[in-house]
Each structure stands twice: as structure tokens, then as C-alpha cells.
Amino acid sequence: MFKTLLVKEFLENFASRRFLMVLLLCLILIPLGVYIGAHDYEVRLHAYQESLRLYQQDHKTVQDILYKGGGKGFRPPSPLGFLSQGLDIIVPNIAESPATAMQKPPIDIRLNNNQSFENLYASFYGPLDLVFIVSVIMTFLAIVFTFGAISGEKEQGTLRQILGNSVPRPTIILAKTAAQFLILVGAFLAAMILSLLVLIASGFSLAGPGGILAEIALALILSILVIGAFLNLGILVSALTRQAVSSFIILLLCWVFLFGVFPRLSVVISQLISPVKSQQLVLQERNRVRLENEKARSAEIAKIVEFGDNTQEKQDAVSAEYRAKLTEAFQKLDREQGNRQNAQMLLAVNISRLSPVSCFVRPMAEVARTGWMQFELYRQDVNRFGAALDDQVYGRYQEFRQKGGANVDFKGDRSAPAPVFQASRIRTDDVVKNSLLDVLLLVAFNILFFTGSFVAFLKYDVR
């Protein structure tokens, strides 16, 4: 009986105009979004490689960093940006030290962003990546596909006819859910297969070292689960209403709230509960700490001079001591600011997880290496780069000036290579661990909505 009903529901949906609309949208938008993302990556990769080449050409030694514009580190683009642009377009892609040999360590690394859309009009709406297509278009199509699954058949009278043949209600709801899930997900998977061919044609490696097959698989799991959650939600609302129009209006309001309102509301709530200092205030506090440190250092050296112990070794020791104190103070400020940002981010993430959309959007950014985890790793890379510049460039220059006098140029070891910025990448197993809770929550949403529709249909009045 289940197989007969499943085939009936499947064929009815397969022959409908709605399925043709869904299939065409999937086959056009998803491969197109993947192609645009792959092309954008090639453009940005070329810009990154060219910038890195020009910098390394002129900054081969420590001497070059001191007198040719300071040290720079370039963040490479993510090849998985077609999955989700995430934070990639707003995260700074250049870390640079002050362009002056007079800078005293610890230096303040500036983060700059020279990225831009080729077409500025695109910035109003965002990229056409897989996250947008699934979270907006596919979830909306899921409720369009299911709003009349129960209430629509009640209005047409077909539901009463089916139940008049003594067909068990659990069998009916199972067949309807399974058939519509197969239709919707089948269209999505067909488009994804075509998208994989587009990636292969663009030169992407799916398997082997450097392959992206694991990320694609995780993205598919997340996509199918969020589509299934909205599909089950559609059947649930349809089983709770008497008219298809009422079902569609309720589902539309639910979709707008879950996608457009609640995730943004969670950010506002997290900002109210766990506020974070602005970057401008942080910079002002760093400047204050630096001035106080310099004032205390000058006072200490003045005491040494006053008591007649004015040896260069003594002054060098005092300067090194206060430089270490300043580095420690800066590190403390950075840790405190980072902890506040992480706490606020974690709070927003946990609140927003009450929406299945949020359980999809954020993990997809992590899968694409354009999320918060990758940004945190980038900040650690920047801190290591700044420490290397302090140790190998600016610290060495300050020691030379203290020993050789203010009017002597820094000679040093001209053959000493300049510190190189090393960009790290979040490991796939770390991404999987971070996304596991969201996957489980999406499974829970599917079970919750399906259980609700199952129970509601058992009590549904078809008269």
C-alpha cells in the first residue's frame, strides 16, 4: 500500500508545473552560481598572486622592510567561496606594519581591505552562492511545494476519497512526505551534479590531495537537511489548516521570520547582553598604554642618569624591560578584546540556532573557509607575523640605534631574509566537529516538524 501511494504521489508531483519550475530553477541557478564563484576565485587568486609577487620582489631582506614601505602579509582567497562568501568580502586581506624605520616594537599591525565587487550594484544584494540559493530559493520552493499537501487535497475532496478506501493515515502522510522530499531533493542533486562538472571544467580537484570532495559532501548534507526541514514544516502547517491559502500565508510568515528576522534579532540580542568595544576605542587604549609605558621608561632612564649610573648597558636593559612590558600589555588587550568578541559571537550563534536557516548558513561559511573559525585563525597568523617583524626587523633596528646613535643608518645583516606571512587553513576535521551540533539540530528540526505533521494528520478532519 505504501509503495502504491508513494508512486502515485511521486508521479503527480513529477507531472506538475511546480516540479518543472523547481527543476529549471535548480538547473539554471545552482550551476550558474558555482560558475560565477569559481570565476571570482580565479580573478581574486590572480590578484593575490600578483600582489604577493610584487611585494616579494621588493622586500627580500630586513633592510627592505625598514625602508620600502614596511612588512606586508596577504591573505589568499578561499577556493570554496562558491559555497558561501561568508565573511570573506569584509575580512581584511592585507596585514601590514608601519612604513617607517623609526617604529618601536611592539608594532601595531594594520588590517586593510582592498577587495571590491567588479559591479558595485552587487553589494546591495550579495553574491549568488550556494548558501543564498539553498537558504532563500530552495526553502521557499519547499513551502510552495507543500503548502497544499493536506489542506489543498481537503478542499479538492481527494483526501476524503483516499481515506474512504480504508487506507491507514500513517501510510498516507509517510507517502506524501517521502514523495515530495524525493522530488525536491532530486532536482537539487541533479543541479549539484551539473555543478560538479562545471567545477571540474574550471580546473578544481575534487579528490586526492587538495581536493574539495569532503567539503562538497558536508555542504550537500547541510543543504538536504535544511530543505527537508522546510518541507516538513510546510506539511505540518498544511496539516494544521483547513484552507490552502491560509497554509501558504502562515508558511510565508514563518519563512520570513526564520530567514530574515530571527537571525538578525539574535545579533541584536547578543550585542545588548554581551557588548564589545569598538575598534576605535581599542586603538585609543593601545595608544594610551604605549604613551604611559614610554613615560615610565623615560622616567626610569632619567633616574639612572641622575644617580650617575649612565651606562649604555643599563639603558638597554631598561628599554628591553619596558618593551617586554608593553608587548605583554598589548597581548592582554588583544586577548580581552578577542574573548569579548568570541563570547558575543558564540551567544549570537546559540540564539540563532533556534532557526534552521542559521544552523545552515553559519556552518556553510565554515565549510567554505569564509567563516569565523578561519577569521580567528587569520588573526593568529597576523599576530605571529607581527611578532616576527618585532623580533627580526624593528627590534633589531632599535637595538642598533641605541648602540650606534641616532644618526647612523641600520646596516645589519643585509642577507637576512625578510619575515614571510604564513596563512593557515582550518582543517576539515575541525570544520566537521564545529558543524556537528548544527547537523544534529537540523536533524532534530526535521524530526520535530515531521512528528508534528504526523500527529496532526492522524487527527485531521477531512470533512
For residue 327, give the C-alpha cell. 608587548
pLDDT given at position 115:
67
Question: Average pLDDT of the chain?
Answer: 84
pLDDT in tens, 133-143: 999 999 999 99
**% pLDDT > 70, the chain:** 90
In the chain the first and final C-alpha atoms are separated, in Å, by: 23
| Domain range annotation of the chain | 2-458
pLDDT given at position 408:
44
Mention every residue, 6+ apart, whose C-beta is less than 8 A from residue 121: none
pLDDT given at position 402:
60
Mention every residue, 6+ apart, whose C-beta is less than 8 A from residue 395: 105, 323
Q: Is the dihedral of CA 42, 368, 422, 113 positive or negative?
A: positive
Say how far apart CA 244 and CA 184 lie, in whole Å. 20
pLDDT given at position 403:
58
φ, ψ at 91 (rounded to 5°): -75, 130
Find the range with the poorest average confidence among 184-193, 227-236, 291-300. Answer: 291-300
pLDDT in tens, 23-60: 999 999 999 999 999 998 998 899 899 988 988 888 88
Residue 168 DSSP label: -
Beta bridge partners of 59: none
Q: What percent of the residues of the chain are helix, what percent strand, and what percent coil, each to the nearest 5?
A: 70, 0, 25
Say how far apart CA 388 and CA 418 lie, in whole Å. 9
pLDDT given at position 280:
81
Place of cell 580567528: 376
For residue 261, give the C-alpha cell. 528576522
pLDDT in tens, 195-244: 999 999 888 888 767 778 889 999 999 999 999 999 999 999 998 888 88
Neighbours of 188 (CB within 10 A): 23
Q: Report the pLDDT averaged over residues 288-295.
A: 87
Find the range with the poorest average confidence among 105-109, 218-222, 294-298. Answer: 105-109
Max CA separation in the chain (angstroms): 109
Task: Report residue 436's pLDDT band, with 50, 70 and 90 as the boundaries.
Answer: very high
In this structure, which amino acid lies at residue 77? P
Cα–Cα distances (Å) from 265 to 135, 156, 257, 388, in that order, read 17, 40, 10, 41
Q: Does residue 406 surpass a pLDDT of 50?
A: no
Q: How many residues does the chain have?
A: 463
Say how far apart CA 42 and CA 371 lie, in whole Å. 20
Q: 84 and 67 in contact (C-beta within 8 Å)?
A: no
Q: Does residue 365 surpass a pLDDT of 70?
A: yes
Task: Report residue 311's pLDDT band, with 50, 70 and 90 as the boundaries.
Answer: low
Q: What is the separation of C-alpha 260 from the centre of its chain, rounded to a whole number of angstroms?
A: 17
Q: Does residue 340 surpass a pLDDT of 90?
A: no
Question: Which SS3 state, helix, strand or coil, does residue 313 take?
Answer: helix
